Structure 1
Amino acid sequence: MSDTPHTPLDNPPDTPPTSPADSTLELRSTVAGDGSVTLAVHRADVAAPAPDEVVVRVEAAPINPSDLGMLFAGADMASATGVASPSDESLPAVRAMIPTGTAGLEGRLDTAMPTGNEGGGTVVATGDSDDARALAGKVVGFLSGNAYAEYRTIKVSSCLAMNDGTDPEDAAACFVNPLTALGMVETMLDEGHRGLLHTVGASNLGLMLNRICLADGVPLVNIVRRAEHVELLRGEGAEHVVDSSAESFVSDLTDALRATGATIAFDAIGGGDLASVILSRMEKVASEGDQFSRYGSSTHKQVYVYGGLDRSPTILNRNFGMAWSVGGWLLTPFLMKVGPEAAERLRRRVADEITTTFASSYGMRLSLTDAVDPEQARRYARMATGDKALITPHAADA
């Protein structure tokens, strides 16, 4: 452990510091050369905070779709079995086989990688900088890449201080989904579009995006995959909800695009021909009333793929003219592009609206041990709408 001075919450500044926790249980994922991946409970030291760091008692950390790649590396979860942790046979783990092998994973072979993009908790010790001390005792959300743990030492710059009275569970999901939803609207405005489409409207992120668009007057088309999700979004005030499982999907989508003028889409599905269908329907609406051109309409149509719920190839049937683009969209590059001032503006909106606009819901709560139970792992790896998992590292202490 580091000898860097820090200020625990229960000691006055002139008292020799003692770490609030010498060790932590955490989740680590290891890909082996035989094509297996093991997610295990490990025990590790808690680093004392540097001047610009704090120690957070992690109360909650969500499992987002973006976490699954690090957790299981594309493994077939039907093959999941319970094993002992490679670092300590008294601790549990789950192992599964990666059907595509280890191609593209060479950089993480035989390395126990930390997991968990974000979390929430209470600051229990601080470094000696003013910014760190200002967080003493505060509930914070944080972005770290290693959130699935009992305690974490975090840079102050990676923390978002929540307003007084905020529950750590609410703070746990204050980065990935809220800032992604806000980033979608910012991207739409920056690129000159006047309405947008989202392909997983009933997800936690989708519900946040719907609330943002209602509050900000942004036309939004929500695509869902089940009839009950249509009703869910209608109940949340959404006007344009399209069920991709309905026989009338294509015509319903066309009508919604006509009503909203949406020409930019954010797609969490990725695989299959959904992006192609969206572009073709945008082109249909854009070309209505125009004189025929073999190059299609001049209206630019954009689809950003930001997820991979379907890992099959993305299929494009070129029936949408020439004014189009398909690309990837990620939160971190977006935040770097808009700069620190705009990013801070978005962060503060999240903190102010964390229990309203940016409220999250969960279908299961898991201890660290639960998270490596094969049955539970198979369940949360499905990423079913309404069944999102929240890891609560101190659940066993309650």
Structure 2
Amino acid sequence: MKITTRNICRLAWQNGQDCFWKSTAPLVLALSLIAAPFAAEAVSQGASSIVIHDTTTAANGGESSTSSFRSEFASALAREKPCVETMDDQDIRDTIQDERERELLEGGDSNEALKNLGDRMGASMVMTVGAMSVGGGKVYSASVMDTKTARTVARETGGDGSAKQMAEKLVRSLGPQLADDCKPHWVGTVIYSYTFNESKQTTDGGATHATRRNVKRTINQTSMMTTTIKATLQKPPSGGSRSVNSPNARVMHRVQSIFEKRSSSNGEERCRLPGRNPFFKGFSDEYSETVTQLGQGTDVMPVSISIDGDGSYSIKVTAPGGTLYGKIETSRSSSTCTSDAPPPVTDAQGMPEGKLQATSFDAEGISKSAKPDSLSGSQTSADGRTKISWNLRLVKPKGK
């Protein structure tokens, strides 16, 4: 697969780019309230999406305990009700993280954040799954709630080895309440990540100073930069006329950069104190500087999927621009002729907002089918810094 990228913001402070930080109160999301906005679609019209939430405690193995059942349920649903989409706890975590960072950068209140969360994950049903240790094995349970009526509409339990049977029974039970008809559209995610880490150390004789001798200075510099772009494809609006291969996606564009410089000098300094002959005394200077920057842009953006007759395909994602914030923190301490360990002098400076540039990236691959129902793959660059991964599924009525 071939990867091309354009205009990815590398955020190199060494090159003098301006990006800045703003501090606001942290956002707290009440998970118990998430279900309320899910009722965007009445079950009587055929539920088209289900959020799967695991409640297994750590003592009983956590999410991994129900992974087999959740996988079997998703497979059974894709076979019997391919028009119904599923979301899981990772989608919930990603959405909450996106809202937390949007809140941090843009401000706003928690009620608005909860509404945004619900709007983004609008689903007709919520399925809760869990596992409990009993004797030498485990008992699994699953219940499905209609978010419009807040009533449980299906429930199944089973023991070890019953994941497939439980999943199939649950799908059959839910069948009459799930959508059978839908406009064909792609669902899934495309993720771009770039990571750069570099450290270097230099030594020299320090700055020229007439009263110092035998000076040795050590400078340590570290740079860490990350760029993450995640596109979550959205189902088309009712009555929309967009092509199946031209979907919209909720695209999150996040960047972070930390640059640290630490300088340590030691040697001898000539001292002249009242009533004493000049003398040399050992000295030490310590200086540190940390530049932190954070930026994010989130918006609904177009995605282009092109599939050729031989099965080769390309996916193009456009990421939105946004705002960058930053701060510079410094600390300095220096021994003197009269003091061996004075307290450090610290400072923190914030500066005007910077701009996160919009960007795009492309990926190309080959499918075994000229009309594929799924597209998935990943690619890592030769230097290991850039990775693109994608997992898309074509949602369409059964048998078509």
Q: Same fold (TM over 0.5)?
A: no
Q: Larger radius of gyration, structure 1 or 2?
A: 2
| TM-score (ref. length: structure 1) | 0.21
Between Structure 1 and Structure 2, the one with more strand by share is 2
- Where relative contact order (Cα < 8 A, 6+ residues apart) is larger, the structure is 2
| TM-score (ref. length: structure 2) | 0.21
